[in-house]
Amino acid sequence: MNYKDTINLPKTDFAMKADLVKREPELHRWWAEVDIYRAILNARRAAPKYVLHDGPPYANGEVHIGTGINKILKDIVVKYKTMRGFETPYVPGWDCHGQPIEHKVVTQLGRKAQTTPKAEIREMCKKYAESFIDIQRRQFKRLGVFGEWERPYLTFDPTYEASVLELFADLVEKGHVYRKLKPVHWCMSCRTALAEAELEYGDEKGPSIYVRFPLRTRVDKLFGVKLSDPGSVMIWTTTPWTLPANVATALHPQLNYALVKYESVALGRPETTIVAAPTVERVFGALGIKNFEVLGTAEGKALNGTEYTHPFINRTCPIVMADYVRVEDGTGCVHTAPGHGQEDYATGIEYNLPVLSPVDPDGRFTQEAEVFVGMNVFDADQKICKLLADNKTLLRQEEITHSYPHCWRCKKPVIFRATEQWFIAVDHANAREKALAQVAKTKWYPEWGEVRISGMLRERPDWCISRQRTWGVPIPAVYCQKCGKPFLTAENVRRTAAIFAKEGASAWFLQPASYFHSGGAKCEKCGGAEFRKEDDIFDVWFESGASHRAVVMKHEALSFPADLYLEGTDQHRGWFQLSLLPTVMSQGVAPFRAVLTHGFVVDEEGDKLSKSKAGGLLQAEELTDKYGADVLRLWTSSVNFTDDIPVSHKVIQERAEPYMKIRNTFRYLLGNLFDFDPTRHTVPLGQLHEIDRWALSRLQNLIRRVTSHYERFEFYRAYHDIYNFCVVEMSAFYLDIAKDRLYCSGADWTERRGVQTVLGTILDTLTRLVAPVLVHTAEEIWRNTSAHKKGSAAGSPGEVDSVHIATWPTVDPELVDVDLETRWDRLVKVRTDVLRELERLRKEKTIGSSLEANVTLHADDEKLYEFLKGYEKDLPMVFIVSNVKLGCGLLKGSTPGVEVQKLSILAKPSEHKRCERCWNRRDTVGKDTTHPALCARCVRAV
């Protein structure tokens, strides 16, 4: 007789082979059919809300692994919170405006771009953005992310554009908005401002000059000498044309400066001048002056406030302090023109210096320059050198070649030119302090996020919100045609917002100024009645910073403030900060209650990813096509994402194995429950074997730990706990031991139904615990578990039966038994020692299968003996051997325990016959006449 047919082997349709690439899209079809996102929300209609507000990715390019990780993490949070019983709407969005898209479109247009109307360019940009939204949406959905995919928020939607203006109107009303000069990269040939990304750096030949600025303040005492003349301070520059805008000279406060006496050919007498001490040799070498003498040195900060005379303009300027001053080139004394340089501008702000920009859009000097008015600035270089030489302030002039920015379009060198820009005042109405107070009230994950963003907020200058571009939301200001006075009122901004809500922001480019400016208004300054529209648009950060207004406050499913923002750490300066500031200014509170950040993807060596490097950026689609979304999600959940995230095919491939292990654990659970009906077969807790209660107690421990990890967004800890539970506690221990009872007991025996009772609970709980991460696999398991076998109701009748609507498991205190766990911890240690001894026998070829062995254990300790004695009849099952004998004292020829002291182990092959059915060696085999090949237990079973 073939006894294999008489044992209860697992049966299931749940495939061992995952085949995720094929299976996941099938589930997606089902989810689409039942409208899973809507079904989940419907099931939570009465529940408290949990709002995760999506930071919009840029609508350009495909979804790469970094963007994919971000969306997966958000989805894990959303699915977890849903299971915790919250109504968890998720409205994804896209950042659609901005320079990169405009640049792409304008590049495609080539020369035609100059003559194409702005409204037309904007239409092309919109089409471009839409094409990538479609691609990215498909790729995000493929990851198993649920959300409002058919109604996402888009920053080019008229309602969104209107919201940006509504927010802006509040800020205008509260007095945060003002205009002032700021230097920008400027192409005088294209007559346009350029973004950093629009610059191309290349070598350029130009002048290099050393100039002395005559001092007005006497400094000799500072250097410990006495001189008859105040002397000078020496600067070096490669842009002589910026000298008309010079208003200061910057020195490093901690650097040593030398007072140098030298013979001046121009002056025909000795002169003293100041340069940084480390530069003396090099500078005077370059000047070709051999006779010089350092009279003394002084620290830079001692010279702070010293005054000098501008070399050719009637102007008195100060010496100021700046940390960026270097001594590698130049003199360590830096010519400072806040209208012509970024650092100069910052220094200008710090010292309240005037921002001079005596250059018109064509690059010609204006009246303000006082010299060479109307001349192109590059042409003026030589003239200015001549002027300096004539008034004896030029010490040296030569030609050098250096890296210089050029316009990406016309390839001509660009200049820094100060232009009027719109700003948001951070210190107005205590906004900075209020924002910092809100930061302190926000929960930051990880905690150092608070330190990081606070530091940035404390240091940040006013926010320049204007951009000289086309693809964005226009700044709705108008100017008096006659006198140029700008008009920006909350009323007009709100009027424009209403127009945008109906017609979209492109109306600004199609309609006249009068359409937006209240009729009959006259210029307060000159009485002019004609107005022109502002050309500038908003910084895209102002748009995304308005998402709380456009989305969280307006979308019917959401509520303000959001519970969570979740983005990369770069957004501490970006979206988090630039959402916080305007929200604090308009609403008085932060737009978020908590902020979670993740690190950046790096390569296997931990270096940043770059397109040029081998492999380049991994694309999400490439990974889902190769491994399946659940493997990608499992990998995402397994790393501590607050750090950098090393990513490669190898590390993701490595998660395919644990995925299979978890999958197989589920398959085994399902397989052994094929004939189990919980309503009829459940064995009460009191009748369960201790080891079954051990498994239930460990399961409670798992629930407790995993829940706490999810609450802290520490998914990698949940991954490790779940995985170790499957591998160590279930597969290698409990399930291995349970096989005999499952397979060989009679189908309906209590010992078998008891195990099944436990397996059913574990299956149900574990499916829920992995559902936020393994979204497809959990659903597949759920669908393979018929409704009546699930531990608790999935939802009300008529609802979609999805694991993602099910509720999160909670710890059942009745199932927790710490003492029992402690006892079994000890038994596991004994087991480890026994298995090591069995392995030794295997190596000697004495046994093969462990069931071939009998084990004798001796305890040289009374308490240990009593402990083992209490489990005597369970020990063969626990060790998976045929028989175990217990004894006291020492045992001849035995092996001492390693894990357990005072224990000695002796294993040898069993002398009994093998039961053909259960493979145990038993003395009862052969006793039965009908079934001579079976042991007594198996005779009963068949």
Partner RNA sequence: GGGCGCGUAGCUCAGUUGGUUAGAGCACACGCUUGAUAAGCGUGGGGUCGGUGGUUCGAGUCCACUCGCGCCCA
Residues 88-127 that bind RNA (CB under 7 A): none
Q: Does 21 bind RNA (CB under 7 A)?
A: no
The minimum distance between CB 183 and RNA, in angstroms, equals 12
Binding mask 52-71 for RNA (x = CB under 7 A): --------------------
Pick between residue 573 and residue 823 the one whose CB is nearest to RNA: 573
Q: Check whether the bond before 461 is cis (ω within 30° of 0).
A: no
Helix (H) or strand (E) holding 131: helix 118-142
146 vs 733 by CB, closer to RNA: 733
Q: In angstroms, give the least distance from the CB of 660 to RNA.
A: 6
Question: Residue with structure tokens 């270096």?
Answer: 607
Q: Work out how close the CB of 130 gets to RNA at its nearest, in angstroms, rounded to a whole number.
A: 26
Cα-Cα-Cα-Cα torsion 519, 524, 526, 530, nearest 10 degrees, comes to -20
Three-state DSSP state, 287? helix
Closest distance between RNA and the C-beta of residue 625, in Å? Answer: 18
| Cβ-based nearer residue to RNA, 420 or 657 | 657
Q: What angle do CA 328, 333, 339 make, to 5 degrees?
A: 105
CB count within 10 Å of CB 4 equals 10
State the nearest-atom distance from the C-beta of 68 to RNA, in Å.
Answer: 16
Q: Which listed residue (1, 225, 265, 732) binds RNA by CB under 7 A?
A: 732
Q: What is the three-class DSSP state of 798?
A: coil
- The least CB distance from residue 755 to RNA, in Å, is 13
- Which residues are bridge partners to 592 per DSSP? 562
Tell me how far apart the alpha carbons of residues 638 and 659 are, in angstroms, rounded to a whole number: 11
Nearer to RNA, 354 or 646 (CB): 646
Shortest Cβ 739–RNA spacing (Å):
5
Map the footprint of RNA across residues 710-729, applying CB under 7 A: 714, 716-717, 719-720, 723-724, 727-728
Q: What residues have CB less than 8 Å from 137, skipping those under 6 apart?
A: 92, 149, 152
Residue with Cβ nearer RNA (315 or 649): 649
- Does 846 sit near RNA (CB under 7 A)? no
Residues 737-766 that bind RNA (CB under 7 A): 739-740, 743-744
Residues 437-466 that bind RNA (CB under 7 A): 448, 451-452, 455-456
Smaller CB separation from RNA, 507 or 730: 730
CA neighbor of 329 nearest in space, from 236, 192, 209: 236
Helix (H) or strand (E) holding 333: strand 333-336
Nearest to 473 by CA among 568, 542, 377, 404: 542
Among 45, 843, 863, 873, binds RNA (CB under 7 A): 843
The 10 Å Cβ neighbour count of residue 113 is: 15
Cβ(158)–Cβ(500) below 8 Å: yes
Q: Which of 324, 333, 312 is nearest to 219 (CA)?
A: 333
> Is 325 within 8 Å of 319 (Cβ atoms)?
no
Piece in contact with RNA (CB under 7 A), picked from 209-217, 395-403, 566-574, 923-931: 566-574
- The residue among 109 and 835 lying less far from RNA, judged by its C-beta, is 835
**From the list 573, 649, 783, 913, which residue makes contact with RNA (rule: CB under 7 A)?**
573
Q: Which is nearer to RNA, 499 or 880 (CB)?
A: 880
CA–CA distance, 761 with 699 (Å, rounded to integer): 9
Residue 172 or 566: which CB sits closer to RNA? 566
Provide the 8-state DSSP code for 6.
G
Nearest distance in Å: CB 536, RNA: 20
Number of Cβ within 10 Å of residue 414's Cβ equals: 25
Q: Does 784 bind RNA (CB under 7 A)?
A: no
731 binds RNA (CB under 7 A): yes
Amino acid letter at 622? Answer: E
What part of residues 911-940 is at the interface with RNA (CB under 7 A)? 916-919
**Binding pattern for the stretch 284-323 against RNA, x by CB under 7 A and - elsewhere:** ---------------------------------------x
H or E element at residue 941:
helix 936-941
With H, G, I as helix, E, B as strand and everything else as coil, classify residue 312.
coil
Q: CB of 406: closest distance to RNA in angstroms?
A: 20
The per-residue DSSP string of 378-401 comes to HHHHHHHHHHHHHTT-EEEEEEEE
- DSSP bridge pairs for 259: 274, 296
Near RNA in 847-886, by CB under 7 A: 848-850
Of 259 and 647, nearer to RNA (C-beta) is 647
Please give the size of the binding site for RNA, defined by CB under 7 A.
80
Tokens coding 357: 């920009």
Please select the residue that binds RNA; options are 302, 835, 886, 906, rule is CB under 7 A.
835
How many whole angstroms separate alpha carbon 747 and alpha carbon 5? 12
The answer to whether residue 825 forms part of the interface with RNA (CB under 7 A) is: no
Q: How far is CA 169 from CA 162, 409, 492, 502, in A?
A: 10, 35, 8, 17
Which candidate, 480, 475, 550, places its Cα nearest to that of 509? 475
User: Of 141, 549, 667, 776, which one interacts with RNA (CB under 7 A)?
Assistant: 667
Piece in contact with RNA (CB under 7 A), picked from 5-13, 26-34, 246-254, 542-550: 5-13
CB of 562 to RNA, least distance (A): 21
Please, what is the minimum distance in Å from the beta carbon of residue 716 to RNA? 5
Nearer to RNA, 419 or 640 (CB): 640
| Chain residues 335-374 in contact with RNA, contact rule CB under 7 A | 342-343, 346
How far apart, in Å, are the Cα atoms of 785 and each of 43, 759, 766, 769, 805?
21, 12, 13, 15, 15
324 binds RNA (CB under 7 A): yes
User: In the structure encoding, which two tokens stand for residue 772, read together?
Assistant: 């936020």
Restricted to residues 598-657, the positions that interact with RNA (CB under 7 A) are 599-600, 602, 606-608, 638-640, 642-644, 646, 651, 654, 657
Give me the least distance between CB of 434 and RNA, in Å please. Answer: 21
Q: Which two three-digit tokens encode residue 936?
A: 């007594």
> Quick one: which segment of 86-94, 114-122, 403-411, 837-845 binds RNA (CB under 7 A)?
837-845
Least separation in angstroms between residue 456's CB and RNA is 6
Question: What's the alpha-carbon Rg for the chain, to the nearest Å?
Answer: 39
Of 465, 431, 514, 507, give the one whose Cα is nearest residue 162. 507
Q: Rank residues 108 and 724 by Cβ distance to RNA and give the closer one.
A: 724
Estimate the crossing angle of helix 690-711 against helix 715-724, to 10 degrees: 170
C-alpha distances (whole Å) from 361 to each of 13, 376, 420 are 74, 10, 12
Would you say 546 or 647 has its CB closer to RNA? Answer: 647
Closest separation in Å from C-beta 479 to RNA: 29
Q: In terms of CB distance, is 157 or 780 closer to RNA? A: 780
Beta strand 153-154 pairing with 93-94: parallel
Q: Which of 281, 379, 524, 736 binds RNA (CB under 7 A)?
A: 736
| Under 8 Å between Cβ of 129 and 59 | yes
| CB 834 to RNA: min, Å | 9
Window 153-212: residues binding RNA (CB under 7 A): none
Q: Least separation, in Å, of the C-beta of 827 and RNA?
A: 14
**Interface positions, 668-687, toward RNA (CB under 7 A):** 668, 671
Q: Is 735 in the site for RNA (CB under 7 A)?
A: yes
The number of beta carbons lying within 10 Å of the beta carbon of residue 436 is 17
Distance of closest approach, residue 195 Cβ to RNA, in angstroms: 13
Distance CA 902, CA 229 (A): 97
